[in-house]
A and B are shown apart, each in its own frame.
Chain A
Amino acid sequence: MNNIAGSKSSLTWIVHITVAILVVLWMIPTVGLFISSFRTADQISTNGWWQALFPSEQNLTLRSAAPETQREEGGLFVIDGNLFDEGVVAKISVWGISSRAIDDYTPGQTAELRKGGTVTVQENGDYRMENSEPFTGSRGSRVFVTATQPPKFTLDNYNKMLFEKRNVDGMGKAFLNTFTVTIPATIIPILVAAFAAYALAWMDFPGRALLVAAVVGLLVVPLQLALIPLLKFHQDIGIGKGYLGVWLAHTGFGLPLAIYLLRNYMAGLPRDIIENARVDGATDFQIFVKLILPLSFPALASFAIFQFLWTWNDLLVAKVFLIDATGQTTVMTARIIELLGTRGGNWEILATAAFVSIAVPLGVFFAMQKYLVRGLLAGSVK
């Protein structure tokens, strides 16, 4: 018995460790982008996001205040202040005044400036320049420092991407547009599908089995096939590219899953309730509205989440049916693609844009995971 117990506990450890590794592996990509979205452009390009959590040592090129701020102090001309921007807390380990020798001095030492005068730099970035003659020139002197900065995060990126009106890369408008696409495209198919699902589950008519089979078949038809014919159709009937078109398209593409999910769920409702209601003289319409709809809430919620995630995350349908040449109706996914093209290296913009678009589905996901799982289990064709 001892033997078995021993092997079991070591096995449990292996299980714990394997799962932990898998979870970390699955989280790392998202966490990386998430952390990056709170860093400045400089920080992102100097080192990896995994170093953002620790104090980092960086080589910086800083500049003293301009000569025009000098004052006279007992016969000496003096410029003083702090090298770092306001609010920056950093510790200088070495510094220099030439780009070829950036580590000549330690904090507290004094260096001779080439243009005349001296400069003394303290550990916290305080400096004092002294000269017997006035400092000349329009710009301050360069100081090269190696400084250790504590981790620092900023919300500036989000501020800029969401609320700055003049920012051409902004996501504010696209965010609203995405909502405008998503909400009707989620609600309308639910209504249409619920009635059809009730008919397929509880009303008897010839051809019912055939229709259910057809819905199952349509479930896997790639929507790629629908692009050109429908775009042409929309143009022929005068809808063209626009919100109405994209709502209709999402409704059509979402219906097979909606009908399939709802029909399966409704067919599983207890027969007694429905038959009792019929005996009591309720019409089909009353049964549907007063009994079936409330009872089917879990299935309705499951599909609503699916459709919401799918329409929110969609790129292809929006690109084909919605976004016209003016670009006024662009959605977030399409916006991100544009940014990938024009701002490929600016990770602070890309990361923030991506997280603005990811945040809402993630919120829905964590709040309603139960229904999502239930829907997946019911939705995969068995």
Chain B
Amino acid sequence: MHPAVLGIITIALGVTGCVGYFYFSNLILDTVIFPARGRHAGRNINYANMIRPWLFMLPALIALGLYLAYPVFKTLYFSLTERIPGGGNAWVGTANYEQMLKEPKFWEAMRNNMLWLIVVPALSTAFGLLVAQLTDRIRWGNIAKSLIFMPMAISFVGASVIWKLVYDTRPAEQDQIGILNALYIFFGGSEPQTWLTIPIWNNFFLMAVLVWIQTGFAMVILSAALRGIPEETVEAAIVDGAGPLQIFFKIKVPQIRATILVVWTTITITVLKVFDIVFAMTNGQWETQVLANYMFDKLFRANDWGVGSASAMVIMLLVTPILVWNVRNARKEMR
């Protein structure tokens, strides 16, 4: 059977299954288990209303538990064990972590990830803020925003191909077809460079891809925040004789500090998970390894679940402060 047909059947089955579950479980609850009639009608309605929320949430809870919560603990378990040939796992304590900490590739990935964590959120937020502020004042601002926002729709893989052409290198005697080398030669560079193989710097060429994608995100959020600033504060500053730069840095930025932080942390999380760009452009060669790609390497190339899971736990550990901060904020808001 063609997979597309299979897909349509699955959609039909999945959708009717879901709707059927919700409808019939609700029906059974109301008519069979706790019918709202007879001697205990009132009590039954109360019972039914106590159970109904859990009925509505059950599929979601199962999926969340199974696909997100359980794997965290299972990965922790894998990181502390070693696979025995023939099946099963043996407890090895922290041996996987020790082995990982001894690998230079791991430290290279850590160093690069730290670079990514500093550069990408900072540049994306800065560019996003700049574009948000500038486009606010001009008539074609919305078109400009739309175009800068566009890379958000492009896959990391697609973006990697796009940027590989930018970084392309031809032998010196030929015309360069990568625009970066063409510009480099035009402005007096002697030899065309293979940008992605120059250690340390190549990391920045990879980061450019993510900055290019994430700037649109930062811009959209920050632009909304800038619009939310009360007019009076800006007007008061103008009356007091503040220049445009002063208004921006001393009046506007402090008022949207909370939003900037949100943008920053959101991009930070994206950076920690970044895998596709490195995988597609260098696959961690020439000292461009990052944690997510290191983990993929360990899991699916070296088939080493122990060390792979250990490095996944490192990513989890790095995300945890943001997780805690988010949860605390959410709880504050609920109250």
Q: Which residues of A approach B to under 8 Å, CB–CB? A: 11-12, 15-16, 18-20, 22-23, 26-30, 32-33, 36, 44-50, 176-177, 179-181, 183-184, 187-188, 191-193, 195-196, 198-200, 203-205, 208-209, 211-230, 233, 243-244, 247-249, 251-253, 255-256, 259, 283-285, 288, 309, 312-316, 319-320, 329, 333, 336-337, 340, 347, 350-351, 353-354, 357-358, 361-362, 364-366, 369, 372-373, 376-377, 380-382
Contacts and interface: CB of A to CB of B under 8 A. Distances in A.
B3 A205 contact: no
A184 B11 CA distance: 5
A307 to B, nearest CB: 13
Given A213-B331, A220-B326, A357-B158, 4 more contacts: A32-B162, A212-B334, A313-B156, A381-B265
Interface string B147-161: 111111111111011
B150 A192 contact: no
Interface stretch (B90-98, B129-137, B229-237): B129-137
B175 A46 contact: yes
Nearest to B182: A48
Interface in B60-103: 60-61, 63-64, 66-72, 74-75, 78
A193 B60 contact: yes
A228 B308 contact: yes
Contacts of B177: 44-45, 47-49, 347
Contacts of B197: none
Given A216-B326, A217-B327, A256-B68, A336 B179 contact: no
14 contacts: A47-B175, A180-B7, A192-B63, A195-B60, A212-B330, A213-B330, A221-B68, A228-B308, A283-B26, A313-B155, A329-B3, A347-B177, A354-B161, A366-B146
A253 B330 contact: no
Given A192-B18, A196-B60, A203-B52, A187 B11 contact: yes
A288 B165 CA distance: 50
B138 A26 contact: no
Contacts of A369: 146, 149
B314 to A, nearest CB: 10
Contacts of A252: 63-64, 66-68
Please indicate which of the listed interface residues A44, A195, A337 has the most CB atoms of chain B within 10 Å of its own CB. A195
Interface string B266-289: 100100110110011000000000
B56 A203 contact: yes
Given A22-B148, A30-B162, A213-B330, A362 B220 contact: no
A184 B14 contact: yes
B226 interface: no
* B contacts with A: majority SS: helix
B195 interface: no
B151 A316 contact: no
Contacts of B10: 184, 243-244, 247
Please indicate which of the listed interface residues A309, A314, A369 has the most CB atoms of chain B within 10 Å of its own CB. A369
A213 B157 CA distance: 33
B54 to A, nearest CB: 7
B153 A179 contact: no
B131 A19 contact: yes
Contact of A376 (B182, B212, B220): B220
Contact of A381 (B137, B308, B326): B326
Interface in B289-316: 292, 295-296, 299-300, 305, 308-309, 312-313, 315-316
Interface string B36-69: 0000000000000110111011011101101111
Given A179-B4, A221-B316, A380 B11 contact: no
A353 B256 CA distance: 41
B253 interface: no
A283 B26 CA distance: 10
Given A191-B18, A193-B60, A213-B330, A333 B149 contact: no
Contacts of B295: 224
A95 B45 CA distance: 95
B1 to A, nearest CB: 11
* A contacts with B: majority SS: helix
A286 to B, nearest CB: 10
B67 A248 contact: yes
Nearest to A260: B330
B104 to A, nearest CB: 21
A208 B331 CA distance: 11
A171 to B, nearest CB: 12
A78 to B, nearest CB: 38
Contacts of B155: 312-315, 333, 357-358, 361
A357 B153 CA distance: 11
A340 B280 contact: yes
B239 interface: no
Please indicate which of the listed interface residues A11, A208, A380 has the most CB atoms of chain B within 10 Å of its own CB. A380
B32 interface: no
A221 B258 CA distance: 22
Contacts of A225: 71-72, 75, 312-313, 315-316
5 tightest A-B contacts by CB? A252-B67, A313-B155, A196-B60, A365-B153, A229-B74
A310 B68 CA distance: 17
B154 A362 contact: yes
B164 interface: yes
A176 B221 contact: no
A214 B4 CA distance: 36
B240 interface: no
B220 A377 contact: yes
B319 interface: yes
Nearest to A48: B177
B326 to A, nearest CB: 5
A158 to B, nearest CB: 15
A215 B135 CA distance: 35
B19 interface: yes
A272 B105 CA distance: 60
B134 A18 contact: yes
A223 B273 contact: yes
B262 interface: yes
A284 B25 CA distance: 13
A256 B308 CA distance: 25
